[in-house]
A and B are shown apart, each in its own frame.
Chain A
Amino acid sequence: EDQVTQSPEALRLQEGESSSLNCSYTVSGLRGLFWYRQDPGKGPEFLFTLYSAGEEKEKERLKATLTKKESFLHITAPKPEDSATYLCAVQAGGSSNTGKLIFGQGTTLQVKP
């Protein structure tokens, strides 16, 4: 069964304190791994797509990496505005798969000034 597990569930950081969020997955043929940011009361906002092990992508203070079993979202010198819930999702491969995303439970990040 395709599954995504994120850890930790919650993370509190001081402004400027770098850290990493983990996303472990099992999927029958990975088509893509996606990271989203979700603010309270809003829909998920797309951040990154990773397709193959070894791939890395960066955007401002965020950097996403991918291995065959997990992905990390590294946050460098975070600011209070980075506070949000970060969601990881996988898309399984195969011609019968319709592209639906399988989500983890998310990591809620709080960055204190």
Chain B
Amino acid sequence: GAGVSQSPSNKVTEKGKDVELRCDPISGHTALYWYRQSLGQGLEFLIYFQGNSAPDKSGLPSDRFSAERTGGSVSTLTIQRTQQEDSAVYLCASSLAQRGEQFFGPGTRLTVL
């Protein structure tokens, strides 16, 4: 079946603008994660959704970052008033359950000028 898909694959924006990144998880996967991979940094956790439970937002670096998951499927990560330090690859992953292998999408490369 289809894997995790993300859009856009690349996004270039100007400092101060808002951006939205989209993730379509694998059908039937109830858990969805967002991670960020910066140059020279490992992958860092941002936010987690599981079914109808309250999301775990403990990894969001500032209040400029937010995410939602509609209908238990598609998720959108929003970054408001982007800064140059937000430049990174944003990766989405999904898993069948909370305790399970996570399968990653191809990522969205965000460049803030």
Contact = CB atoms under 8 A, between A and B. Distances in A.
Interface magnitude class on chain A: 20 to 34
A105 to B, nearest CB: 5
A82 to B, nearest CB: 19
Contacts of B43: 44, 87, 89, 101, 103
Contact of B45 (A42, A45, A102): A102
A101 B42 contact: no
B81 to A, nearest CB: 26
B31 interface: yes
Interface of B: 4, 31, 33, 35, 41-45, 48, 50, 56, 59, 91, 93, 95, 98-107
Given A99-B98, A103-B35, A103-B42, 4 more contacts: A31-B99, A49-B101, A98-B56, A101-B102
